[in-house]
Structure 1
Amino acid sequence: MTTYGVLGVGSIAAAIVTGLCEGVGDPPDVVLSPRNAERSAGLAARFPSVRVADDNQAVVDAADVVVVCLLPTDAADVLAGLTFRADHAVLSAVAELHLAGLAAVVAPATDVALVTPLPAVATRSGATPVHPGTPAATGLFDRLGGSLVLDSELAYESIGAASATVAAYFRYLGTIAGWLEDRGIPGDEARRYVADTFAALAGELSTPHADFDALAAAHATPGGLNEQLARDLTEAGAYDAVRAGLDRVLARIAPN
């Protein structure tokens, strides 16, 4: 069975480990770096197949597949200080570390891929973008909810740019709640109402081929209030601003 080594144990790494081990009859061996000692120790205490290595090199030495979850500011230097084997597979979840750069710092390993796991991997739900679709990448994420294989680095980086919309989404909800609060509704009740409203819509997104235009039309009764606000936002350029913002994020993260 494949042994996974995880470099950097932040929230995404913890989600990967949880998805691999929680409620699984025969979980794989997982070796964690000692970075974020409290979280690493907690995962090792929860799952018998997980252990914490003495240092990053010990993680690499013990692993068949190395999953890199380091901070972007640290990743290149940390990886450059490690010795990889030619038979290693290396998966990087590090933003702004491109495929060529990854391959250069983990040589002589050549089996490399970029991955963008989200917290949903902890419950083995939701597909993870991978590029390219190597056996190591799909082998890991198919067991964590599925793999979204992308054939070009531009397509992969575009998915990464799209993931930058989450904070803006919550700001949108917060703006609605704040507007309600300004009109006399207690803040906690306003936030609960907005959260419940949008949470109730989540089921409409669970179909395999969600059609956003069709969903928008279904909620925009001609002459109704939803139609009015959607039209106002369109005329104000709100949706054009989203596209322009995504273009700027992509320009930041895409290879030169």
Structure 2
Amino acid sequence: MLPVADEAAFAVFSALTGTLTTHYAYLATLASWAAGHGIAPEEAERYVRGLFQGVGRSLGDETRSLQQLAADHETPNGSNERIRTTWFGENNSAALRQALDDLLADLR
């Protein structure tokens, strides 16, 4: 038995699952960037792992939406807002949605 309402929902969740290795590659890129700036690779990886393990724990707070969690971790004009708005702006967001739409079409 599927833990979702129907096959259409299962396909959507399967498409979302297709983003897991992208997340790991994102984290690896962060650690590699830090290593490129003089941090020992193992230290950079340890820091990135610890940082995002904390983020993972915050996901357990279902009283706040994902948008609210993002806002709660962002200072106006701060570092997080700067990276979000310059790197993950509307074009990047649209490209991700398109990649997911394309994957979903293939899964159906």
Fold shared, TM-score > 0.5 on shorter chain: yes
Q: Does 1:191 align with 2:45?
A: yes
How far, CA to CA, are the matches of 1:236 and 1:180 in structure 2? 26
Matched, 1:149 2:8: no
Percent identical among aligned pairs is 31
Whether 2:37 is the aligned partner of 1:180: answer no
Distance in 1, matches of 2:64 and 2:22, equals: 21
In structure 1, runs of 5+ residues without a counterpart are 1-112, 114-129, 131-147
User: Relative to structure 1, is the Cα distance of residues 211 and 160 closer, same or farther in structure 2, using a 3 angstrom cutoff?
Assistant: same
Report the counterpart of residue 57 of structure 2 in structure 1.
203
- Cα distance in 1 for partners of 2:61, 2:101 equals 28
Matches within 5 A, 1:1-256: 113=1, 130=2, 148-150=3-5, 152-208=6-62, 210-235=64-89, 237-254=91-108
Alpha-carbon offset, residue 210 of structure 1: 4.8
Q: Which has the higher helix share?
A: 2
Partners of 2:49 and 2:85 lie apart in 1 by: 23
Q: Is the strand fraction higher in 1 or 2? A: 1
Over the aligned positions, Cα root-mean-square deviation in angstroms equals: 1.6
Q: In structure 2, how many angstroms separate the alpha carbons of the residues matched to 1:236 and 1:187?
A: 32
Deviations 1:26-58 (A, max 9, x none): xxxxxxxxxxxxxxxxxxxxxxxxxxxxxxxxx
How much has 1:191 moved relative to structure 2? 0.6
C-alpha separation between the residues in 2 aligned to 1:161 and 1:230?
23
Structure 1 residue 209 displacement after superposition? 5.1
State the AA in 2 paired with 1:149: V
Alignment TM-score, normalising by the size of structure 2: 0.90
DSSP-derived class of the 1:157 partner:
helix
For CA contacts below 8 A with separation 6 or more, give which structure has more relative contact order.
2
TM-score (norm 1): 0.40
Output one character per residue of 1:130-154: Cα deviation in whole Å (capped at 9) or x when no partner: 1xxxxxxxxxxxxxxxxx332x321
Q: Which amino acid aligns with 2:25?
A: R
Which AA in structure 2 matches 1:181? Answer: A
| CA distances 1:175-234 after superposition (whole Å, capped 9, x unpaired) | 111110110111111111000000012221113455110011111100101000000123
Contact 1:204-1:210 within 8 A present in 2 as well: no
On the 8 A contact 1:177/1:191 being kept in 2, the answer is yes
Rounded to whole Å, the distance in 1 between the matches of 2:84 and 2:38 is: 25
Task: Measure the CA separation in 2 of the matches of 1:246 and 1:200.
Answer: 26
